[in-house]
Amino acid sequence: MIQSVDRAIRVLTALQGSRRMALSELATRLELPPSTVHGLVRTLVAHGLVVQERGSTRYQLGPAVLRLGNVYLDTTELRSRAIPWAEDVARRTGFAVRTAVLLLDDVVIIHHEPRPDGSRQMPEVGIVIPAHASSLGKAILAFSGEAEQPAARGTLRSMTGETVTSPKALASQLGSVRGSGLALEEEEALLGECGVAAPVFDATAGVVGAIGIVVPSAAWPVDQAAQDTVREAARAISRELGAPGWPVRTAGPR
């Protein structure tokens, strides 16, 4: 691992979570000397990845981060394949649809299909959700080599009173997902919001993401037809990506 690159990424990650931070705050967060952090930040500023807040000594992520993100979205085949299926799922179920990929212990939304009811909805691309508290995350973890990593860190972070924080309970849920191909989540990441998701595989037989519906708690639980629609979309996207089957039983831990 290249230390300077690792430290620069840690700076960007810290700013992602806290929005705006002073150099002293970054140094404390990263447990690095202020002089080291200053050099890292100035380099990131030169490349537009970090900017200094106007009239302040605090720093925040810069516009170059958005450019890199857009390049990723434009080039990921999962997103391009998922978009028409997400539109179909939204039309058939009446719910918003998310497609996500795993990033360490979180999932990142790479496509958001709004509810087809014409109501005003915030765009959600780029939103990060703890994987263990999300149906999308559970759908990926169940078939991923990363499945044991959240549990290895001990008690899991609680987002609401419904979040599963026990590694043993999470492992049991992931076993059920491997059996059914479908992950469920009830108000674990956000009160009032539930989810149903299914994993997506590619030609290597590896899980590359998940697609799922966002269900208001007032409409929970959803009927079998909605669950089947999510499964069908995940299966279809996987087929288009060259997956040998769905779900790919050999992809995850047993």
What are the structural domains, with CATH classification, of the chain? 3-62 (1.10.10.10), 76-251 (3.30.450.40)
Cα distance between residue 75 and residue 211, in whole Å? 18
Q: Model confidence over 42-97: pLDDT tens digits?
A: 999 998 889 998 888 899 988 887 777 766 666 689 999 999 999 999 999 999 99
Segment among 110-124, 173-187, 231-245 with least mean pLDDT: 110-124
Angle between helices 3-18 and 34-46 (to 10 degrees): 80
**How far, in Å, are 94, 139, 189, 253 from residue 216 at the CA level?**
11, 19, 12, 32
Q: How confident is the model at residue 150 (pLDDT cuts 50, 70, 90)?
A: low
Cα distance between residue 141 and residue 119, in whole Å? 32
Burial group, residue 218, by CB count within 10 angstroms (0-12, 13-18, 19+): exposed
State residue 252's pLDDT score.
43
For residues 144-169, average pLDDT: 78
- Among 232, 216, 213, 195, smallest CA distance to 90 is for 213
In the chain, pLDDT over 70 holds for what percent of residues? Answer: 91
Q: Model confidence over 8-37: pLDDT tens digits?
A: 888 888 887 657 899 999 999 999 999 999
Segment among 114-123, 127-136, 158-167 with least mean pLDDT: 114-123
Q: How confident is the model at residue 154 (pLDDT cuts 50, 70, 90)?
A: low
Cα distance between residue 11 and residue 21, in whole Å? 10
pLDDT exceeds 70 at position 254: no
Pairing type for strands 128-130 and 106-113 reads antiparallel
Q: How confident is the model at residue 2 (pLDDT cuts 50, 70, 90)?
A: confident
For residues 123-141, average pLDDT: 92
State residue 119's pLDDT score.
87
Q: How confident is the model at residue 148 (pLDDT cuts 50, 70, 90)?
A: low
Yes or no: say if 142 and 198 are a contact pair by the CB < 8 Å rule: no
Mean pLDDT, the chain, whole residue set: 89
- Among 119, 194, 106, smallest CA distance to 153 is for 106
Cα dihedral across residues 13, 16, 17, 22: positive or negative: positive
State residue 251's pLDDT score.
42
Tokens matching residue 240: 């288009």
For residues 209-236, average pLDDT: 97
What residues contact residue 156 under an 8 Å CB cut-off, 6+ apart?
A: 130, 132, 133, 150, 163, 164, 165, 166, 167, 170
The total of other beta-carbon atoms located within 10 Å of residue 195's CB is 31
Q: Model confidence over 228-238: pLDDT tens digits?
A: 999 999 999 99
Question: E strands along 65-223, which residues?
Answer: 96-103, 106-113, 128-130, 183-186, 193-201, 207-216
Cα distance between residue 241 and residue 4, in whole Å? 36
State residue 149's pLDDT score.
56
State residue 17's pLDDT score.
62
State pTM to two decimals.
0.78
